[in-house]
Amino acid sequence: MKKNEFRWGWAALLLCLLVGIGLLSTCCQKADDQGIEYDSSAFVTLTDAVPDAILEIRYFGTYNFVGARIDGYEEPTALLTRKAAEALKAVSDDLRSQGFRLKIYDAYRPQMGVDHFVRWAADLGDTSMKEYFYPDLDKSVLFEREYIMAKSGHTRGSTVDLTLFDMHTEKELDMGGTFDWFGPESHPDFCGNPETGEYTGGQSPAGRSITAEQFANRMILRRAMLAHGFKALATEWWHFTLVDEPFPDTYFNFPVKQLK
């Protein structure tokens, strides 16, 4: 190799290294500034960890409060961080011994999906699914009451929305309300005390109630989730987040599809 060729070779290599470092710096800076990450390496496909889980991924279909497939849901699957998936496997084993299987509505949710919710909520004229999910509310209050927010715990990868499937009746357990219902009827303390499991009865402002059996069914799910490292949300009986979540300040934005 001639001396000039040698010099040009090293110069080209140095240039490539500098460009690569610059690109990496830009990527990392974006993640640092916005809290957004695109790497799925810490995640698993939920059914790889919990093979008997039933999936009904509502945001892949059209039966949800938006009435359309949500951005970022490319396949009807569920993803979680490895740590959350391992904890959910313990929940599943516990509940199987009681005659139940887990049914998953949603798990990891990309930021692009949350952004889709925000755009939908700002469009006050789109109320096609109102009668199914928020009949008692004017759509204009969804931000104010925090039914829709610009950030979601789901996007951190360790939150799951789920219910129970009864293996004896071969039906979904009756929880007295649908997933993603916007209203006090979805609160874990509706008609009872979730800390003691005591049913107290009562009605919502709209005159709705749930039975003692329906409240008890919600408590079966709640007790199992809390016993294996998850915490509950005060407004949704179906929503749980891993207490010791591995990415408490990171929001991911890769699509929902099978991981390879």
The catalytic residues are 236
Q: What is d(CA 77, CA 26) in angstroms, rounded to the nearest whole number? A: 31
Ordered DSSP codes for 69-132? PPTTB-SS--EEEHHHHHHHHHHHHHHHTTTEEEEEEE----HHHHHHHHHHHH-TT--TTHHH
Q: CA separation (Å) from 231 to 114, 152, 173, 176, 225? A: 21, 15, 21, 21, 7
Q: Are 60 and 75 contacting, i.e. CB atoms less than 8 angstroms apart?
A: yes
